Amino acid sequence: MKISDLDLSRIPTHIAAVMDGNGRWAESRKLPRTEGHTAGEQSLMDVLEGADDLGVKWFTVFAFSTENWARPSEEVKFLLNFNEKILLERRDELNERNVRIRFIGRRNRQVPRRLIRRMEETENLTKGNTGLTFTIAFNYGGRAEIVDAVKRIIDEGMSAERINEKTISRHLYDPTIPDPDLVIRTSGEYRVSNFLLWEIAYSELIFSETLWPDFRREDLFTAVKEYQDRDRRYGGVSET
């Protein structure tokens, strides 16, 4: 699939991705699971560049969930260091591409303070960029986000009568992010796994059999083509 095969007037504004299958990719090659995450970095950069070339305005990835702390300690340690390594090695490259980098998720005591500083440095470095906004969901859970939003509303002393859907949306981790038009999950798993639960109410979901380390921009273009072939009705009926 090539960009020329797509209708460039109907590109999704916001694409989100669950980058699944890194561990299985490595195990199928009799490699340590961590090698799958390393291979997945190349996929991420290729897909990001493809999204930027398409004119996608927002791209969000699930990098580390609130449930990932339950993984083996060595893998958790690797993932924390690996995410810091990606920031240090890739943020200048993305900054040169005019990409703005943002983070959503809990920045609590579980996350090493050093990594939080890297995240803040990266946000400050790229905050003036006007191209693609690349959002990294780190120490993130969809249910946790809703709980934290409700807590902030309560802390503000808002009465129940004043609370509606817009109130919840305004208190999410980053209320400036538009709801995803398209969510892609790789590796043949057919679930959303606590990712952007509030935001994906009307998103188109596409599940790819491809393991994330093998996923490339051409696979992204194929997903966008399938998205363009769908009829988005938002609970209504088709005009056709």
Q: Are 182 and 15 in contact (CB under 8 A)?
A: yes
Burial of 12 from C-beta contacts in 10 A (0-12 / 13-18 / 19+): buried
Residue 139 annotated to the active site: no
Residues 6+ apart with CB under 8 A from 50: 216, 217, 218, 220, 221
C-alpha angle with apex 93: 89 to 96, nearest 5 degrees? 150
**83 catalytic per annotation:** no
Catalytic residue, from 46, 68, 129, 214: name it.
Answer: 68
Check 5, 7, 20, 52 and give the catalytic one: 20
Burial bucket for residue 57 (CB in 10 Å: 0-12, 13-18, 19+): middle
End-to-end CA distance of the chain: 27
The residues assigned a catalytic role are 20, 68
